Amino acid sequence: MLKIIPVPAFTDNYLWLLHLEGSNQAYVVDPGDAAPIEEALKQHGLELAGIMVTHHHGDHTGGIKKLTENRSIPVYGPDSPNISTITLPLKEGDSLSIGGNTEFKVFEVPGHTLDHIAYHSPADAALFCGDTLFAAGCGRMFEGEPRQMQASLAKLASLPKETEVYCAHEYTLANLKFAQAVEPDNETLQARVKQAEQVRASGGFTVPSVLGMELDTNPFLRVHTPSVIESANRQEPNEVNEPWQVFAVLRRWKDNF
């Protein structure tokens, strides 16, 4: 089993340190900066045993070289020419075992970037999804297109509802503000806003979220919902009906929100 330690970095990133309980070993997901990871390892008395990467953006990969300078450890990630530090590339359907008893399923989730992957541990009910799915939102499409990104989100949305969503940024309040614009009458969403505001006011983290809550409140996962479809058509009156078309409208709307 994993003990998952959030390591804040930059202004709003979360780097995730995965402590293999019963050992002093840990893996890190998306180490954009080496310094806070080294500090967290020291604080918790852990040894870094490996690195897991979701995509090539610098705030997810920038610390890899320093972390591997004096360590002979594997670096898992997408088979991408944009990440020269990957030593063990992964693809859709692969399984990754760490520490001998923790297994992740690998999903290809292109859209934010074309090389994006996500890691799901069924036993720990944990999803590490980088910048594809956020609490109450999703990543911008820097390289992909709407049909592709919506399919990636649908893939993650099909996981068990109790799955905890470990995304890479604290964007939740801004995402919830947009979600309210899309679904102003969603009572579950209103309650989530109040709870998230309280958490942030007290200095807490809104991540991880739970997939079941995302399905109830995240407009980018609710593209089949009549209220979301109606809102998309009010925003762009083009007879938008297909899920990917609804997603495309929402993403353009959010990009300029």
List the catalytic residues: 55, 57, 59-60, 112, 131, 169
Instruction: Give the distance from CA 81 to its chain's centroid.
Output: 22
Q: Give the whole-angstrom CA distance, residue 238 versus residue 249.
A: 10
CB 134 within 8 A of CB 60: no
For residue 106, the cross-strand partners are: 119
Alpha helices, DSSP H only, in 52-208? 58-61, 64-68, 146-157, 172-182, 187-201
3-state secondary structure at position 247: helix
Q: What does the DSSP 8-state code read for residue 31?
A: -
Cα distances (angstroms) measured from residue 1 to each of 7, 94, 100, 227: 19, 20, 11, 40
Kindly report whether the peptide bond that precedes residue 208 is cis, defined as omega within 30 degrees of 0. yes
Q: CB-based contacts of 141: which residues, under 8 Å, 6+ apart?
A: 111, 112, 149, 251
Residue 169 carries which side chain, given as an amino acid letter? H
Tokens in use for 87?
Answer: 């030593």
Phi, psi of 155 (to 5 degrees): -60, -45
